Amino acid sequence: MTRSCALTRLALATGLFALVAGPATAANWTVDREASKVTFVAQQNGAPVEGRFEDWSARIRLDPEALEDAEISATVRPGSAQTGQPQINQTLPGASWFDTSSHPEATFTSQDIVSTGDNAYEARGTLTIKGTSQPFVLPFTLTIDGDTARAEAQVSLARMLFGVGTDVAPPAVADPVTVTLEITATR
């Protein structure tokens, strides 16, 4: 159960990263799922629990020269979290964690995307996990080479803010969970 909390936090962060990671120098980008990943690391009793979300999607419209028209939306299905540990994988979909029977998706929708420096951006919007919506800022880097874009992001998500893993309090399972996005997209 403790590892499940970490996965839940990672799922939330992963959903956000997937949205941000998709943007590139063209209007509409298509995520290359084979070259992309959404992963997370949670701390359970001081030891890392690593995992990834297998089922996620992102819609990205982004031109660094026209950020006022940029939009990112991402969906992560928390029930797809895989840690290599069957007990944790079975716990995460439960009511105390992601409650996937009532909340099968975690989402991020941007309201604004701004440049914060060379190849650095922030997607500012709303993250919804387990039915709880919170303002969220997703910092990411973006490199565009021809018709291929690569976005990377790492964010710390407070799982307890979203009611994830409520049956296991910190420090047994740390709050926050680190979510990493590595997204490749083409136009």
What does the alpha-carbon distance between residue 102 and residue 100 come to, in Å, rounded to a whole number?
5
Q: For residue 10, what is the enclosing H or E element?
A: helix 2-21
| pLDDT at position 2 over 80 | no
Give the pLDDT mean for 137-141. Answer: 97
Q: For residue 4, what is the enclosing H or E element?
A: helix 2-21
| pLDDT at position 25 over 60 | no
* Alpha helices (runs of H) in 61-184, residue ranges in sequence order: 86-91
| pLDDT at position 140 over 50 | yes
Residue 16 — very low, low, confident or very high, per pLDDT cuts 50/70/90?
very low
Which DSSP string corresponds to 51-84? EEESSEEEEEE--TT-GGG-EEEEEE-GGGEE-S
* Alpha helices (runs of H) in 86-135, residue ranges in sequence order: 86-91
The CATH number of the structural domain formed by 2-186 is 2.40.128.110
Domain ranges of the chain: 2-186
**What confidence tens digit (pLDDT) does each residue in 84-108 have?**
999 999 999 999 999 999 999 999 9
Give the pLDDT mean for 29-44. Answer: 96
Tally of CB atoms within 10 A around 48: 12
**What confidence tens digit (pLDDT) does each residue in 115-127 have?**
999 999 999 999 9
| pLDDT at position 17 over 70 | no
What does the alpha-carbon distance between residue 100 and residue 80 come to, in Å, rounded to a whole number?
10
Angle (CA) 97-98-100 rounded to 5° is 135
| Cut 0.85: pTM above it | no
Give the pLDDT mean for 155-174. Answer: 94
